[in-house]
Each structure stands twice: as structure tokens, then as C-alpha cells.
Amino acid sequence: MGVEAGVAAAEDALARLLPRFGVPLERRWVATPAGRVHYLVAGEGPCVVLLHAGFGGAGNWYRTLGPLSRHCRVLAPDRPGYGLSEGAPDVEPIAWLPALAAAEGPLAALVGHVAGGAVALQYVAARPGEVRALALGDLELAAPGFTSPPDLRRPPPLRSVARWCASVGVCFDDRRLLAPEYLHYLWCLQQLRPGQDQRPPGDATPGPVPLPAAGERTWPARPLLLIWGRGNRWTPPGLARELHARIPDARLVVIEHSKGMPQLEQPGEYNYAVINFLRRALADTG
């Protein structure tokens, strides 16, 4: 498949997925030093940015953007080098998130999943006074004595749609919960970007995030929610609890029946936790 045909197929797949978001939204582009960035926007109020993991794109948030947009203005970008955005996947967030803020307004909070959480931490380190709250899910952590399972990242089967969809399904607690439009969206992105693996957890860059040493205060001092799937294999909940113990002012929520994609596997519980955290955090820091 040529690049133009691949982009057209991915555009069509996203268009098919958009009704699943459940709210009116807009597709927009913003020019950045990293290249043109594509994003979705819905709602009014303080700007909250949803940062997807190292696979897929803005479509990963099809069960979160709608409910969250009833409380704030939600921006869901395809990170550079993912989805329909230009640029390289390893570009630093300081090269593109400020352009999003200039286009839409100050970024009040960042919600990141796996590598998207690492991106959020990078940005807050570069702009320490800008973001008021962080919600980070299923981060890939680097901790002494822990190694991710060797079968976690295997080359995706690219020649058979059925085999590829089956390989995606085993990454989730119950694949029957996944919208067929979402599986089609990921498949089209796999064809567009064959060098990427469009299955969880995806590329860890800019992670893994180092687990802070006991007593070491290296994480940003602002309201922080840690949200984890009980069945996460790349960073089990035990490591999440270690992280939480070293960031005493953070809140940890562990969600049952989730292999590390709770926003899709258990969206009601995930959205409830994130919405209530952001309502309190942004009210307290406003």
C-alpha cells in the first residue's frame, strides 16, 4: 500500500470511529516545529490533553473523550509520528505541545497512558509552572530487579487481518468490548506505519520512567492521579504501589479486569476516577 492510499484508509477508518465518541467533536491540525499535528477537540472549559500510548492515536480515547468533554475542553492529539500526525515519534513534547496550547489555550491538565504518561512528565519538567494536574496510567517503569515479560513485544502478523485482530484481542481483558471500528482503525494505522506495533503497550519511548529511589523527590509537586489495570504485565500493580509509596501526595486507583487499557476495558470506572480527580484538582489550583 502506498503512503497516499494508507493515509486515505486511516482517514476513512477514523471517520468511521468518530461516532463511537458519542459527542460532537472537531478534527483540527496545528503547525508545530515537529510537523503538522492532527488532534480532536470537544467541550468547553480548562484544556485537558489526552496523550495516547506508543501505538494507535487519538482514537485510543474513544470511550473517554466524550464523558470528559462534559466537564472541560478536551484535546486528543495524534502524537508526532503516530496516527495522522507528521514528525518523529521520539520528538520531545516541548517541540509541539506549546503550539497546541497557543491554538487552544493554556494546558490545565495532562492525562497520559503508558508512553503518553512519560511524555506528560517530560513536558512538565520542561514547563514546570504550566500544567496544574496530571493523571498517568499504566506507565512503563524501570525498576531494579524487574524485567518486562519477553513475549510482551513480538512482531505483529501483518499478512492476515484475522490473525492480527486476534493478536490485538489477547492484549485486552475481553476483546468483545472493543468496537469493530476501533480494531479497523488500528489495522489501518498498522498498514500506514508498518514499522510500529499498533498493539498495547506499543513503543515505550520516551519511557520507561525510572522508579524514584526512596526519599527521592524527582516527580512534579502537583495533584497526581496514578491509574492502573490490575492485569498490567509491563508494570504490575505491585510496582505501581511502590511508586505511590514514594509519592505520598499522589492517589492510586487500581482497576480490576484490565490488562493495562482501563480506558477501553473498564471505561466507566476509569472515566469516573479521572473526571472526579480533575474536578477537584483544577478547582483547588484554579
Is 196's pLDDT higher than 80?
A: yes
Q: In what order do the strands lie in the sheet with 107-113?
A: 26-32, 35-42, 73-77, 47-51, 107-113, 133-137, 224-229, 251-255
Is 285's pLDDT higher than 90?
A: no
Nearest 5°: the CA angle 84, 86, 92 is 120
Q: Where are the domains of the chain?
A: 18-149+201-285
> What are the residue ranges of helices labelled H in 59-146?
65-69, 97-104, 115-126
Q: Under DSSP, is residue 89 helix (H, G, I), strand (E, B) or coil?
A: coil
* pTM for the predicted model, two decimal places: 0.97
* Predicted confidence (pLDDT) per residue in 225-251, tens digit: 999 999 999 999 999 999 999 997 899
Cell digits for 251?
492517589
Hey, which CATH number is domain 18-149+201-285, 3.40.50.1820, 3.40.50.10680, 3.40.50.460, 3.50.50.60? 3.40.50.1820
* Predicted confidence (pLDDT) per residue in 152-161, tens digit: 887 777 778 8
Question: Are 278 and 71 a contacting pair, CB within 8 Å?
Answer: yes
Q: Under DSSP, is residue 54 helix (H, G, I), strand (E, B) or coil?
A: strand
For residue 77, give every residue at least 6 positions away whose Cβ sits within 8 Å of its Cβ, in sequence order, or none. 37, 38, 39, 40, 49, 50, 51, 58, 85, 100
Q: What percent of the chain has pLDDT over 90?
A: 81
Q: What is the mean pLDDT of the chain?
A: 94
SS3 content of the chain, % helix, strand, coil (to 5): 40, 20, 45
Question: Mean pLDDT: which of 62-66, 144-148, 173-177 is highest?
Answer: 62-66
Nearest 5°: the CA angle 195, 196, 200 is 155
Nearest to 57 by CA among 33, 42, 76, 35: 76
Residue 48's pLDDT is: 98
* Predicted confidence (pLDDT) per residue in 9-32, tens digit: 999 999 999 999 999 999 999 999
The arithmetic mean of pLDDT across residues 132-160, rounded, is 87
Is 147's pLDDT higher than 90?
A: no
Is 117's pLDDT higher than 90?
A: yes
Strand partners, 41: 26, 75
The arithmetic mean of pLDDT across residues 78-87, rounded, is 98
Cis peptide before 150 (omega within 30 of 0): no
* Predicted confidence (pLDDT) per residue in 171-189, tens digit: 999 988 899 999 999 999 9
CA 274 to chain CA mean position, Å: 13
Phi/psi of residue 38, each to 5°?
Answer: -95, 140
Give residue 1's pLDDT band: very low, low, confident or very high (50, 70, 90): low
Residue 90's pLDDT is: 95
Is 37's pLDDT higher than 80?
A: yes
Is 3's pLDDT higher than 70?
A: yes
